[in-house]
Amino acid sequence: MPKIQKSEQEWRAILDPEQFAVLRQKGTERPYVGKYTDFKGKGIYTCAGCDAPLYESSTKFDSHCGWPAFYQALPGALITEEDNSHGMQRIEIMCASCGGHLGHIFKGEGYNTPTDERHCVNSISLKFSPKDDNK
């Protein structure tokens, strides 16, 4: 169960309509339009709904699927759930802090990553915090 509980009205006040559609209604942004699809910055990706840390930039890789791809989340950052919608068997990933929909995990696709997983994440579900090299 997510730690952050808000009403639909509270989420609508916090999120823009596109973020609400993806994070709270399990939507999907169109491929290749998200701001983080080809982004290469060093830092931490956080949940756009609650700012919880989700992924280190070092786990992001080029999957050429149209959405940001990561091979591993930060420990305890995600909740997973079986998703059999749209005639497919997938694993949905959600923010463990607020329950916001992030995307899906795909396994065994043959990517050269340590986990052989592709966390296919909607850019609109993410924020980015750059690494401060002075710390």
* pLDDT, block means (10 residues), the chain with 135 residues: 87 97 97 96 98 98 96 98 86 97 96 95 98 66
pTM of the predicted model over 0.75: yes
Q: Residue 1: what pLDDT?
A: 58
Whether residue 50 lies in the annotated active site? no
Domain 8-130: which CATH class? mainly beta
Do 72 and 43 contact (CB within 8 A), yes or no?
Answer: no
Annotated catalytic residue, options 47, 50, 95, 120:
120
Do 123 and 45 contact (CB within 8 A), yes or no?
Answer: no
Whole-number Cα distances in Å, 23 to 52, 109, 135:
13, 25, 32
| Residue 95 to residue 46: CA distance in whole angstroms | 9
